[in-house]
Structure 1
Amino acid sequence: MKPTCLFVGIDVSKSKHDVAVIDQNKQLVAKPFVIADNRQGYQTLINKLNALRQNNGQCPVKIGLEATSDYWKNLYYFLCAQSDEFQLTVINPVQTHHWAKTQLRRAKTDPLDAKEIALFMAEKNPSPTVRRTPIFDIIKDIDQRLSVIRKQLTATLNRLRLELTKVAPELEKAIKKLDSKRILAVLIQLPTAEAMAQAPVETWRQIRYGKNNVRLPQTLIEKLKQCTTHSVAYKTGPGAGIAVQSLVREILFYQQEQQLLRQHMAKLYQQISDQESLLCSIPGIRRETAIALEAYIGDVHRFPNAKKIVAYFGLNPTIQQSGKSKRKARLQKKGNPIVRHKLFMAVISIIRQKKGPIYRYYQRLVDSGKPKLTAIGAAMRKLLVTIYSMLKNKQPFDENKM
């Protein structure tokens, strides 16, 4: 009896992929094989799968790939572009890992992993993954790069503040925002209290900042000179400010890189839509955040209802209860942490504005006795459900519908 469907499991890794093919009776129809992570290897996979289809009455082929880092994406998009005969499903490795435990598997090798993925496909028969435009992946990668740069920028600012305690402690205490353009313009020219105190008026006048090369305000000059006169800094003399200047150049580089990446995100989004993101209509969400959230969500129709998208990003509460023991509920936190961070910051911005339905929902929970963090988590969930509804119905934010 010929198989009615072939199930393919692909264990993805960096340089190679292990492949196993089984039928609906969970029996191997061919010896497991390995393909290289290049065009030749991908073509070998297609040729073998086409040959198996011909030998088995042109039966449908369902392929499952584990979402191992980003290594699966080249193979996934190659298969999508080459043939419509295959049903592709990208599987969360957590699913296959826990499912393999239920099978009491004792060994773990790449060929066995591929077979387990094929068995998972045959038993669970998951829905095919909704294809997403690669532009969304590009925007996601840019946003992740922005997230890394923000952390590096914060760390560098902290190091700059520490260095200033050695060369200009009075200045470090007086200036709250070290990453302002005019303060950085001063520090790149006059990196120590000694240099500021001894600098002639002409030197201060030559310092410019911003796109329009604006001069420093006289009030700022007088404040800085007052702070640095009679400083107690122990680092003085030649070379005392070299570390400060290096840190300032690093901060300026990060700021320029952030600006450039944001511009690229906006241009890429214009290839998807010639209008502003619908999410920009939500008070408290910036343009950059709106574009990034759309990229992380992708095709909103892959989520059949709001509960699915809430669970996907880990904003659903989890309860652990057994007998008389019942632990405190908390967020699942199994989704993308960057998305949760963006929703958290958006909710904080909304709370500071003290207006809108999400703020009123948050305040109602706090007034009822809920802890503030619990109320923020609930507001994040409500915001995500609102975003889901907006994208699904293609409607801007409407306070009256909440």
Structure 2
Amino acid sequence: MSASLLGASVDVPLAGGGWETVRLHEPRQWKDHPQAFEQRVAFAAAHVVADPRGENVPGAPAVVDWEGTLAFRRELFRHGFGVAEAMDTAQRNMGLDWPAVQELVRRSAEQAREYDARIASGAGTDHAPGASSLDEVRAAYAEQVEFVESTGSQVILMASRQLAAVAAGPDDYLSVYSGLLGQVREPVILHWLGEAFDPQLAGYWGSTDVDAATETFLDLVTAHADQVDGVKVSLLSADHETGLRARLPAGVRLYTGDDFNYPELIRGDGTHHSDALLGAFAAVAPAASAALTALDEGDLATYDAEMAPTLPLSRHVFEAPTYYYKTGIAFLSWLAGHQPGFAMVGGLQSARSAVHLGRLFALANDARLLPDPELAAHRMRTWLDGAGLAR
């Protein structure tokens, strides 16, 4: 250990009172892996960096630090990941308005072309919050799909709050999505975002019964398999995912969105496996890259060993209320030196407690995901001081 880190520590607060002393680990020198992985397709869903001078208060238009936002995507490219752009991780429906979404997708798609990296971007209906009929939902979806396609990005058909509000049952979902899939230029990724990530999506696909909803979902995918590259499922149920992926039509991927169980799902069961489209990968990119590299080499023991320290961190980031996980992603990015400040559009930096963020620091340190531990420690202490928790 370097002399400067010898004995260095940070005290973080515990929920019941008292403190945990976090002793800093020497940083690990992670290897670059700028090319895509061979055995799995892997997207990291990336957050946006807020301009610290911007008026990023609740309800205000988003003011984005474009340099920091694009630099973070280059960091993901450096580790072999494609970028899943303008998804819920980027605060869709939680602070990122449509003009900012358009600018984000344009800039990110242009950069992905420059780096010969893969990008897929979310198309939804959030720019039309007043949509009150199926026709209005269809039109809103079509507008966003057309825009994303115009940038050269692959399309991710996001789950729609507006469709969830107006649909009377499964047939309405099938009607809207079938029309869209009949119009897309290239195969898309279908996104099934669970209620834990957005309570307004309860009963998606026309039923609160997951088994019934799954049948509707499979009917849609089977009927339009040629237009579906894969499905991104974020229900946080490994059993559901393994059952679903075994029933998908040939050639349709399952991109896991299960931030609680992704190592086993990506590893596979010997017959089927999941690919990945994960917000967690934005937080653990170097370690996940090392694991996926080992998987390419057929080294399952190293894959397991590299993934293991990331899982407690991911489960903490995504703990209930899960939809506030974006705060942890941005906090880790700040601790790692990828952005100048801990600010978020919509003021969402206030969505997690000091105890939660202190534990996040400890887990990132355990996983050796702090590239400059002294900087991270300074920032953690400074933030705790501002929160009235200096020690």
**What range describes the TM-score normalised by the shorter chain of this pair?**
under 0.3
Q: TM-score, normalised by structure 1?
A: 0.24
Greater per-residue helix proportion: 1
Taking CA–CA contacts closer than 8 Å with sequence separation of 6 or more, which of the two structures ends up with the larger relative contact order? Answer: 2
TM-score (norm 2): 0.24
Rg larger in structure? 1
